[in-house]
Structures are given as C-alpha cells and as structure tokens.
Amino acid sequence: MRRITGYALVGFFAALIGAGLALDEFRTVLANAITICLSCIGIG
Amino acid sequence: MPHLGRRRWAQIVSAVALNLYVPALFTGSIVQARSKGVCVPVLNCYSCPSAVAACPIGSLQHAFASIRFRISAGELQLGLYALGAVGLVAAFVGRFPCGWFCPFGLFQELVNKIPSRKFRIPRGLNYLKYVLLALTVFVLPALVLDAAGYGDTWFCKWICPAGTLEAGLPLVAANSGVRSQIGLLFVWKVVLLLLFLAWMVVSMRPFCRTICPLGALLGLFNRVSLLRLTVDSVRCTSCEKCDSVCPMELDVRRESNSVECIRCLKCVKSCEAGCIGYEHPLVRRDAPQHR
C-alpha cells in the first residue's frame, strides 16, 4: 500500500512539474535566480 | 589524509557541483547560466555568486509572493514547477537529499566537528520548522502585499542563515554597490548567522532540525516515499549504537521512517547485528554486515 502511495505521489508531482513547465514557470524561476534579490539576502 | 566515506564524498561533490562557477565569488555578480532555472532539492542560495541552480524554497516564496499580481495580470503561475520538483524527489527518496547532498548540511556537520561540549536539541523545537514553512514560505508571501501587489520572501529575508553565508557575505565583500546598501536588516541576519554558527558547534544540524522549511517539506514524505528504512526487531540486540550515531538524535528502532530522519544511513552502517537495512524499488539492502 505504501509503495502504491509512493508511486502515486511520484506521478502526481511529475504532473505538477509538467503543468508548471506548461505555464512557463521555468522561465520565471530562471529570471528570479539570475537576479540578485537584495531584499532576499537581507540587504536594502 | 583522513578517510572520507561515500556520504561525505557525495556531500562534497554536490557542494562543488552546485557552486561550480567559483570566479564569480570575486566579481560581486552572480552566474547567469540557464541551469539556474533548475530547482534542486537542497538548500543552496541562488543568489550565491557561484551557484548554478535554483533553491526551491526561494523559488516557492517568489511564486507565492507574486501570485496575486500575476493572477490580476491574467498570468496563471502557482509555483507548481518548484513544488513538483521538491515533491517528486521527496516521493522517491524522502529526506535523503538532506543527508547526502545539501551543502548547508555538510557545512553544519563540519562546524560540529569543532571540539566542544555537545548538547541535545529539545524535541519540541523540531515543530518550529513546520510553522516557518507554512508562514514564511506560503502564507505571508501570498497575503502581505505592497502597493503593487507583491509580497516578500519572508524566510530568505528575515531568517535564512544559508543565504547570509552563501550570498549576503560574498556579495557584500566583493560588490561595493551592495555594500553601500547594508542596513539593520543585514546586521540582524549576520547576528542570526553567528548564533547558528555557535549552535552548530555544540549541537548537530540545529538548522535542519528546527528551522529548515525544505527539510520540513521533504520529511513529510518519509513515511510514504519509495525509499524506506527497515529494522529487523527480532535480530536487534538493543545495543543502541544506531541511536548514538544518528545525527538527528532519533530512536532509530522506533522512528526509522520518522519525518526527522535525513536518510544518512549511518545507522545502517553502525549496526553490528545487521538488522537495519533499506528498501527502494531500485536498490535494496536487507542485512548489512559490519565493516
């Protein structure tokens, strides 16, 4: 039962990644990651 | 040269691989590579000059901080990609990345090697990370908004000592523009980092156990993930060696799949009776022999 739950979760989260990529979230993550966010590191 | 085990090598290789572009540490800028769009399930600040991948906790906060603005602009972005990236790994191996790949976990283990009297961490503090995960990663970024409709990255801004160590301090040291903007907030972050450093000396992995929202999120899946620890209670001699080596101070025989277990597998290695193993669809170890 636990193993089935594990596989179901793998499928669910793989689908979430797919949905996120379809919504162009990779580009958004990349845009945030290549910008120095001063407030994020406690500056400003 | 001291003998390093497989786990230590994995931690070192991971820390180097995630911070490959070392020259950036001296230029005061951060890497612009496309690989930074990839969320890796460890705490490695993407504002660190040399970082080549994205921190999922930072990405999730950004996603929730801008969720209201994006929806009002007709743009549907809900942080599904970052959440999926963490959840997928968690469903496969639970908190395994904390024990084997997290650079900040490695840092804490190395600092803890400084000789000193060691103290246990009260178990009640373990729950704090769940509160911080809910409040500072999801709720506050999504609900406390500025005039433009943007929220803040509460965990990174007010708490994360990994960000101060890996990003704040190197950028302040190498970038005069950043240095000129230091204020009380940065002083608070440095004080917090120093407090954590002192705590790391006297306790094992205090950040992972009490604060880390990523550890909290990954740990929630330990009970259902495909990687599981197994304990053969019939063969167990109750020598308690497994408990003594556990960096999370767990009662291994009763809490082998607890949300706190970072899957470092030290207990497996330490068990002379060979009664602790692990199972995963891809790999299985039933009865390890003492080495």
Read off the pLDDT of residues B117-165 as tens digits, 9 standing for 90 and up.
999 999 999 999 999 999 999 999 999 999 988 999 999 999 999 999 9
The pTM of the full predicted model, rounded to 2 decimals, is: 0.93
pLDDT tens-place string over residues B12-70: 999 999 999 988 888 889 999 999 999 999 999 999 999 999 999 999 999 999 999 99
- Comparing CB atoms, the residue among A6, A30, A44 nearest residue B224 is A6
Record the tokens describing residue A32, joined without a space. 């945030």
> Which chain B residues are Cβ-neighbours of A32 within 8 angstroms?
46, 54, 58-59, 62
The single residue listed with the structure tokens 């246990």 is: B120
What was the pLDDT predicted at B46? Answer: 92
> Which chain B residues are Cβ-neighbours of A34 within 8 angstroms?
30-33, 36
CA R_g for chain A: 16
Question: Does A4 touch chain B if contact means CB atoms closer than 8 Å?
Answer: no
Record the tokens describing residue B136, joined without a space. 């500072």
pLDDT tens-place string over residues A1-42: 667 899 999 999 999 999 999 999 999 999 999 998 888 888
Q: With an 8 Å Cβ cutoff, are A42 and B91 in contact?
A: no
Q: Domain residues of chain B, as ranges?
A: 6-219, 228-285
- Comparing CB atoms, the residue among B47, B54, B188 nearest residue A41 is B47
The shortest C-alpha distance from B121 to chain A (Å) reads 27
**Hey, what CATH class is B228-285 in?**
alpha beta
Cβ contacts below 8 Å, chain A against chain B, sum to 159
Question: Does B107 touch chain A if contact means CB atoms closer than 8 Å?
Answer: no
**Percent with pLDDT over 90 in chain B:** 85
> Which chain B residues are Cβ-neighbours of A19 within 8 angstroms?
80-81, 84
What was the pLDDT predicted at B290? Answer: 45
Q: With an 8 Å Cβ cutoff, are B88 and A29 in contact?
A: no
The shortest C-alpha distance from A8 to chain B (Å) reads 9
What was the pLDDT predicted at B73? Answer: 86
The shortest C-alpha distance from A25 to chain B (Å) reads 6
The shortest C-alpha distance from A7 to chain B (Å) reads 7
Q: Would you say residue B287 has pLDDT above 70?
A: no
**pLDDT bracket for residue B291 (50, 70, 90):** very low
